[in-house]
Homo-oligomer: A and B are copies of this chain.
Amino acid sequence: MFTAEQIASIINARIEGDANASVRSFSRIEDAKPGDLSFLANPKYEEFLYTSKASVIIINQNFELKQPVPATLLRAADPYSSFATLLKLYQEHKNSLTIGIEENAYVSEKAEIGENVYIGAFAYISDGVKIGKNAKIFPGVFLGKQVEVGENTELFPNVVIYNECKIGNNCTVHSGTVIGADGFGFAPQQDGTFQKVPQIGNVLIEDNVEIGANTTIDRATIGSTTIKSGAKIDNLVQIAHNAEIGPNTVIAAQAGISGSTKLGRNIMIGGQAGLVGHIHIADFVRINAQSGVSKSILEQKKAVTGTPAFDYSAALRSQSVARRLPELEQRIIELEKLVKSLKKR
């Protein structure tokens, strides 16, 4: 149980209303009960602000109220980040520390395991693996030969990391994700069959990277497939061999990055978007969901959409006309008739 005042001091917020209002759990603004702490970040949900039963609500310091609000308000510079901070404190408090190697894990004698590491049952740690301190390797995880896992990194159940791949510090990889499977490389032969091109590179993941569930990141043919520091990758994403994902770049679920494509920093890629191979994407570019990007985008901060993807605003205008195409065709037919009759005159 915390008071509005205590919370305000943690997140450095200004109190508006009863400073003694107390909360004991978190809730979304639309279904909050008395005793809940909530927040408003997306203006789409403003209507709930005036009716919410939450006891305390975090809102933007500059937000202008259209009506009185029953809850105590905490005004913060960034309500979403403030809420995230509180959730993190709650979670840390709740999760007791799990450490040690469970009985049924297989850990090679030739592996180096840091201090306070957790290794769950049925995890398989091969020869030459190095695991940094405080890392958590959940049950059923497979680490191939010479794999390196950094400090504080968490690998959730059934993650597979193929031999020689490296994961940095403070990373999170969710269940079922496969890192370092062979890139998709085959040389066509005269008789119509394909010769496999062995994939002898690896995957290199820097620090502070989060990767969702059932994502696949293939090893390089030669060299490394690279995920730079701070990148965030959602579920069911495909990243092909020799791709490079820049720092803080965010890739939503089911998007696919083809081989050898290089992404700059702080790019946003929407769900189900696809990028062809061997192209470059400049920093801060935004690629809309389901777009198909077939060429390099060299202009920073450019926004694109569609298949093939082009300028976002222009594409929206074209899409809007495209919906009225049958009407447009009708107007052309009318014009043709009129012009024909004018010609006869």
Interface residue ranges, A against B (CB under 8 Å)? 26-28, 31, 42, 44, 78, 80-81, 83-85, 87-88, 90-91, 102, 104, 106, 120-122, 124, 138-140, 142, 156-158, 160, 162, 172, 174-176, 178, 181-182, 184-187, 189, 192-198, 200, 208, 210, 212-216, 218, 221-223, 230, 232, 234-236, 238, 240, 242, 247-248, 250, 252-254, 256, 258, 265-266, 271-272, 274, 276, 278, 289-290, 292, 306-308, 310, 314-315, 317-319, 321-326, 328-329, 331-332, 335-336, 338-339, 342-343
Contacts and interface: CB of A to CB of B under 8 A. Distances in A.
A254 B256 contact: yes
A178 B181 contact: no
Contacts of A250: 186, 194
B178 A178 contact: no
Nearest to A234: B184
A92 to B, nearest CB: 9
A196 B88 contact: yes
A331 B325 contact: no
B187 A78 contact: yes
Contact of A332 (B175, B271, B308, B335): B335
B192 A265 contact: yes
A221 B193 CA distance: 30
24 contacts: A106-B139, A121-B124, A139-B142, A160-B176, A176-B216, A184-B253, A193-B248, A212-B218, A214-B214, A214-B216, A218-B235, A253-B256, A254-B254, A254-B274, A256-B272, A271-B274, A276-B289, A290-B292, A315-B323, A318-B322, A328-B332, A335-B335, A335-B336, A342-B342
A195 to B, nearest CB: 5
B184 A208 contact: no
B234 A236 contact: no
A339 B333 CA distance: 13
Contact of A142 (B175, B234, B318, B342): B175
Contacts of A88: 196, 198
Name the prevailing secondary structure of the A interface residues: loop
Contacts of A329: 321, 328
Given A178-B235, A271-B274, A307-B307, 15 more contacts: A81-B195, A88-B196, A102-B106, A140-B140, A156-B160, A178-B214, A184-B232, A186-B232, A193-B248, A216-B235, A216-B253, A238-B254, A238-B271, A272-B272, A342-B343
Contact of A104 (B104, B139, B214, B238): B104
Contacts of A214: 176, 178, 214-216, 236
A305 to B, nearest CB: 9
A322 B329 CA distance: 10
Given A26-B222, A290-B274, A87 B198 contact: yes
A195 B83 CA distance: 11
A212 B120 CA distance: 26
A94 to B, nearest CB: 8
